[in-house]
Amino acid sequence: MPTIISPLSQVHPDAQIGADVEIGPFCLIGPNVAIGDGSKLESHIVANGRVTLGARTRVAPHCYLGADTTGPRTSQLDAHTEVGADNILFPRVSIVGRVQIGDRNQFFDNAVIGRAPQDAGYKGAPTGVIIGDDNVFRENVTIHRGAEKEDGWTRVGHGNVMMENSHVGHNSHVHNYVTMANNVALAGHVHVQDRAILGGNTGVHQFATVGTLAFVGGVSRVTTDAPPFMMFTGNDEPRPVTVNLVGVRRNGVNEEVVGMLRQAFKMIWRQHKPLTEVRDHFGMITGGVIPIELGTLLNFMEAQAKGASGRAREAIRHSPAFAYHLVEQHRKAA
């Protein structure tokens, strides 16, 4: 099938348009745009600045991709917006600034990816957003690019589901196969580890960590780290209430290890044993070979104890920002 471009669209002659591409009416395609083979842009789409769309990407009406708005001090005017193959953008999606997106993601209506962080100190530095493969971003999801802190990136891994109105704040890291229900809000610098589930209307404090396979109950105000493999519930002061038995079993944790996690829960949160005593106890009964799940829990708790206000990552709050501008200079020089 030949490439079809509506005469009602404006496509710059320097734009790179692949084979079998369809560009519908009222689109504006700038000179530094590359559109991969088999992609379809329906209508009323703006791709401006340095934009790369991978093969077979489908873009619905009224989407915006590329350079930030000229004028505000938070603008990114020369950033590269990269969208991989087989992505689907539903109507009115905005992907702006320095964004790198993998393959087979779905962005539902009004999702906004890569806008400036809600950080008073941000002034348009070349920070960005990295998104992996096979994610689903439902209506009105917002993911802000990093502030001029840590390494300057906001990250989302693979296979995550973010339901309607979810928000990922600057410099946060959502790992893999995480589920965020409606209206979940992650403040800046939050880490959510693999296969965690966050119930609807949950808010997570900046620099907090939600552990692997943790289940955070809905309408929770998470101001401390949520330990891995635990049910973490409560509105004002959520706390671990039991092992996330359904989650760990679904993910193949064997019953012997499940029993150890249950015993560890009892020792830490019911009997209030010191972590050194808990580790020594399990080291003795396992011959020093502590299962990886139990080791993950104990390491998580030890890191939390070294932080502040119940959050392990508070230890880096006042550390110098990562010199991302030096890394960028090195990348260009290479």
Q: What is the pLDDT of residue 334?
A: 43
Q: Residue 331 above 60 pLDDT?
A: no
**Architecture of the domain made up of 4-189:** 3 Solenoid (2.160)
Distance CA 2, CA 32 (A): 22
Query: Could you read off the pLDDT of 71-118 as tens digits, one per residue?
Result: 667 777 789 999 999 999 999 999 999 999 999 999 999 999 999 999
Q: What is the pLDDT of residue 78?
A: 81
Confidence of residue 216 (pLDDT cuts 50, 70, 90): very high
Confidence of residue 329 (pLDDT cuts 50, 70, 90): low
Q: What is the pLDDT of residue 316?
A: 87
Q: What is the pLDDT of residue 294?
A: 98
142-143 sheet: strands from edge to edge: 10-11, 28-29, 46-48, 64-66, 94-96, 112-113, 142-143, 167-168, 185-186, 203-204, 221-222
In the Cβ-directed half-sphere of 226, how many Cα atoms lie within 13 Å? 38
Q: How would you label 111-130 residue by residue, b for 16+ Cβ within 10 Å and e otherwise?
A: bbbbbbbebeebebbbbbbb
123: Cβ–Cβ under 8 A, 6 or more apart, which residues?
73, 74, 148
- Residue 156's SS3 state is strand
- Rounded mean pLDDT of the chain? 94
Confidence of residue 330 (pLDDT cuts 50, 70, 90): very low
Query: Could you read off the pLDDT of 284-317 as tens digits, one per residue?
Result: 999 999 999 999 999 999 999 999 999 999 998 8
Q: What is the pLDDT of residue 69?
A: 74
Confidence of residue 323 (pLDDT cuts 50, 70, 90): low
Residue type, 257: V
Query: Could you read off the pLDDT of 146-200 as tens digits, one per residue?
Result: 999 999 999 999 999 999 999 999 999 999 999 999 999 999 999 999 999 999 9
Q: What is the pLDDT of residue 326?
A: 46
Q: What is the pLDDT of residue 133?
A: 98
Q: Residue 130 above 70 pLDDT?
A: yes
Distance CA 194, CA 289 (A): 23
Q: How would you label 243-264 residue by residue, b for 16+ Cβ within 10 Å and e otherwise?
A: bbeebbeeeebeeebbebbebb
CB 192 within 8 A of CB 175: yes
Q: Residue 131 above 70 pLDDT?
A: yes
| Domain residue limits, the chain | 4-189
